[in-house]
Amino acid sequence: MGVHQYFKSLSDLEQIIRCPGKFKYQEHSVASHSFKVTKIAQFLGTVEEKSGQKVDWRILYEKALNHDYAELFTGDIKTPVKYASKELKQLFNEVEEEMTRKFVEKEIPSEFQAIYLERFKEGKDETLEGRILSVADKIDLLYEAFGEIQKGNPEPLFIEIYEEALRTILLFQDMNCVKYFLEHILTDMLNERFTEHDELTGIAMRIIEEHNG
């Protein structure tokens, strides 16, 4: 029934929780993830531009904003399923494209259909913008896994996700933004202080002494 349905569907993305089937201290929706990936891509694009690359910002923002929209139609399929066989992955991609196409034809008014079909295409191509999206998507995933590990999640899956995300980022280490990330951001992440109980006694003692000294 048109754009009203499309606008309403944005709120459904707030209801899809990433990484289902595992205990998490903090849950993240596809809507929040898309927001964060777009903001991260904005920073990475800024680094590339500073380094002399030409960034097509309109394209970059479109890719980042829309990169997970198709999960609305397919739900959250676990990665090992998708990649279980080349044949399955191929078929799955065809189904995803078909469903997206049908949604666009049903809900988007005809004068905008071409634009939206373009917007909902797989964004992770070999262009600079496609590569920035690939990196930004994995950086947010790395932060999600880091958040769980830092909060004490004993589930080994988050260590595996952390490793896999970092490995993928390294595939793009010829990019200026990835070099920047490894040098200036990852370092700070690894240096994060872990709040320790033992500190508390020290802090309390110090405050009391200072005050009375």
Angle subtended by helix axes 128-151 and 30-50, to nearest 10: 120
Of residues 126 and 201, the one with the C-beta less far from a second copy: 201
SS3 category, 17: strand
| Dist CA 68 CA 126 (whole Å) | 18
Residue 70 near residue 96, CB atoms below 8 Å: yes
Q: Could you tell me if 57 and 45 are in contact, meaning their C-beta atoms sit under 8 angstroms apart?
A: yes
16 binds a second copy (CB under 8 A): yes
Does position 15 interact with a second copy (CB under 8 A)? The reply is: yes
Q: By the 8 A CB rule, do 92 and 83 touch? A: no
Least distance to a second copy from the beta carbon of 75, Å? 4
8 A C-beta contact, residue 57 and residue 31: no
Nearer to a second copy, 25 or 105 (CB): 25
Instruction: Give ∠ CA 71-16-164 in degrees, rounded to 5.
Output: 70
Distance from CA of residue 189 to its chain's centroid?
Answer: 17
Query: Is the CB of residue 139 less than 8 Å from the CB of residue 40?
Result: yes
The residue among 126 and 210 lying less far from a second copy, judged by its C-beta, is: 210
CB of 129 to a second copy, least distance (A): 12
Question: Which residues in 121-140 contact a second copy (CB under 8 A)?
Answer: 139
Q: Does 23 bind a second copy (CB under 8 A)?
A: yes
In this chain, which of 122, 155, 172, 179 binds a second copy, going by CB under 8 A? 155
Contacts (CB under 8 A) with a second copy, residues 161-200: 162-163, 166-167, 170, 173, 182, 184-186, 188-190, 192-195, 197, 199-200
31 in contact with a second copy (CB under 8 A): yes
Binding positions for a second copy, 56-95, rule CB under 8 A: 57-58, 61-62, 65, 71-78, 80-81, 84-85, 87-88, 91-92, 95
